[in-house]
Structure 1
Amino acid sequence: MTESNRLGSDVLLTGATGFIGAFLLHKLLEGTQARIHCLARGETAEAVLRRLQAAQSRYGLGTPDPSRIVPVPGDLAAPALGLARSRFDELAGAVTAVLHSGAEVNLLRPSRMLQATNVAGTREILRLAGAGKAAVVYVSTSEVFGPADGTADESTSPEGALQPVSGYGQTKRAGELLVLRAREDGLPAAVLRLDRVAGDSRSGACQPDGDDFWLLVRSALTTGVLPDAPVNMTPVDFAAEAVLALTATPGTGLTGPVAHLRHPRPVRMAEVAAALGEPVSVVPLDEWAATLRHHGERPDCDPILRLLPLMVERVLGGRPRFLAPLTTTALDRLGLRYPPVDTPLLGKYVRQLRSTGFLPAPIRTSTG
């Protein structure tokens, strides 16, 4: 990532109706003067703008300035991004940078079901960027590393024992390879891998749907147990700020093609239990899994209880250790410090998830 990665006057952003993408849009509007071209599904530009505004509202980000947003009705899974050739060429000639955070995220689907969006879509993004030599920032994930012993830093390639096992991880790795190959061919491009992303550190706004960590936490309110294992998570507002700072600011000292965002302090399950404020015990992993299996045998159980033990490697395995030494040094140079993810912030997340109904209201005991 070098000076050529400064974002310029016109940024194409994908995934802006999703969780991370919504915060990237907010930070772009807040911290740059660029026009933001947002590719999203919708029949019309007006329909896309409504989806973008709904996402900003959903996460407490206010009302975006419509004069700075150019809604682009399209589809990552379609040839030419679902655009007419003239519109594709027009966009290719306009944008100075692309922030590609759009993807289909599903840890249960096989890779063949995710290829169109996550691989073919990335290929089309690179074709568009290449026409005008626009810089490309590809937002990836630690999921590109499969569960194996050892460490994985910015220079580690997800190959051999470290190759991804989920279909999602496999397609994101395929997208990475396309981006890195384009970089070798002269396109200014970078890959930013994010570890687990948590809610907004200021408002507590979360996206729990499909998030195995929050499903695990919700299960504890049924089973009364949490596994004794640390979990690493980075607040989404900081993740978005860091992505933009690393890619838009010259002179960070981060000159390689890959960056990692990983909070330096893991969260202990005792902190999660304290934030819940309910009678939840932290127990060894094998005892936790046995308890979930026992509850999962009940006919009226939440089906997720049967699946959670299968997610242990992903949520709690910590293998390989995802490290970010070069990126952390670059963030230090930029004056960016990870906000603490501690019991007060976890409590803010819990209150927000209770307000939406994802977590049940706390049990109140009578004092007689």
Structure 2
Amino acid sequence: METDVPEFTPNMKGGYKQSKLVAEKLVMAAQERGLPANIYRPVRIMGDAKTGVIGNLSDSLCSLIKGCIQIEKFPTLDIPITVVPVDYVSQAVIHLSRQEKLLGKAFHLFNPHLISWQTLFNQVRSLGYSLEEVSYDNWLAELKNQVSQHPKDKLYPFLLLFSRSPNNLMAKKPLFDAHRTFEELASTSIVCPRVDTELLPTYLAYFQKIGYIPPPDSTNTL
């Protein structure tokens, strides 16, 4: 919940998660001393919703899509995918931060239009990419094979390490609520675009435009 105060637990592994907690505790300490401040908890922030421009192409989701296209396989997983475009996040944060009545609160910047892992790669397939759905173990074996065949390629070793991390994209995530954020934005024109029909096509088109992913008919030559 947006009203929950996170606490450290022994199973909170990794510096990334721990640094998030420390940062929130510092903001809360500042609030207690009278500093006007809010806490914003976004999910994965992606590129601009209109242009598709993404500043961080080394993001794990971008790398995973690219890697699956290159090896022409994606793993069978039962996980939801949610992303928010950077322009939506910036507009929402600016609006919420200017509401004096909301100072001292926390907000979840979340896309209500979740999509499944399968839907994500069906969208990729719709662009003409030939992708075989395989078990996670088979996909991991193929990834290891690519690492051995292309030792100088940074993408495959990254994906191999990433897939073995307990906090990776493919690990199940807890559900969380964003009612306060949605209610405060309901009277504005700030609306998060749908992932399946608006964001994914835009991002994939941008990937193709800049050569981040190859044209559909060239994947078998990599």
Of structures 1 and 2, the one with the larger relative CO (CA 8 A, separation 6+) is 2
* Cα distance, 1:185 vs structure 2: 1.2
Per the alignment, residue 363 of structure 1 pairs with: 217
Q: Tell which structure's C-alpha radius of gyration is larger.
A: 1
Check whether the contact 1:197–1:235 (CA below 8 A) recurs between aligned residues. yes
Runs of 5+ unmatched residues, structure 1? 1-152
The sequence identity of aligned pairs, in percent, is 28
1:248 aligns with 2:98: yes
The one-letter code matched in structure 2 to 1:231 is I
2:206 to 345, 349, 352: 352
- In structure 2, C-alpha distance between the alignment counterparts of 1:242 and 1:344, rounded to whole Å: 18
Cα distance 1:346–1:318, how it changes in 2: closer, same or farther (>3 A)? same
How far off its partner does 1:341 sit?
A: 1.2
Matches within 5 A, 1:270-349: 270-276=118-124, 277=127, 278-300=129-151, 302-311=156-165, 313-349=167-203
Q: Say if 2:62 is the partner of 1:209.
A: no
Preserved CA contact (<8 Å) 1:275 1:350: no
Whole-angstrom CA distance in 1 between matches of 2:200 and 2:89: 17
1:207/1:270 CA distance change after superposition, 3 Å: farther
Give the aligned residue type for 1:220: C
Structure 2 residues without counterparts, runs of 5 or longer: none
Residue 284 of structure 1, CA deviation? 4.6
Distance 1:326 1:162 in 2: 29
Secondary structure of residue in 2 paired with 1:322: coil
Which residue matches 1:8?
none
C-alpha RMSD of matched pairs (Å): 2.7
TM superposition score normalised by structure 2: 0.80
Aligned residue pair count: 211
Local SS of the residue matching 2:149: coil
Of residues 114, 118, 124 in structure 2, which corresponds to 1:266? 114
Question: Partner residue of 1:39?
Answer: none
Task: Tell me which residue corresponds to 1:158.
Answer: 6
CA distance in 2, matches of 1:264, 1:174: 27
2:86 is matched with which residue?
A: 236
Query: Aligned in 2, Cα 1:235/1:245: closer, same or farther, shift over 3 Å?
Result: same
- 1:219–1:162 CA distance, 2 compared to 1 (3 A): farther
Residues 294, 168 of structure 1: alpha-carbon distance in 2 compared, 3 angstrom cutoff: same
| Letter of the 1:288 counterpart | W
Counterparts of 1:180-195 in structure 2, within 5 Å, are: 180-195=28-43
Retained in 1: the 8 A contact 2:49–2:85?
yes
Deviations 1:5-44 (A, max 9, x none): xxxxxxxxxxxxxxxxxxxxxxxxxxxxxxxxxxxxxxxx
**Cα contact 2:140–2:160 (8 A) shared by 1:** no
2:67 to 211, 219, 223: 219
Q: How far does the alpha carbon of each residue in 1:335-354 deviate from its partner, in whole angstroms, 9 at most, with x for none? A: 53211111453122112122
- Residues 318/336 of structure 1: CA separation in 2 closer, same or farther (3 Å cut): farther
Q: After superposition, where does 1:14-25 map in structure 2 within 5 Å?
A: none
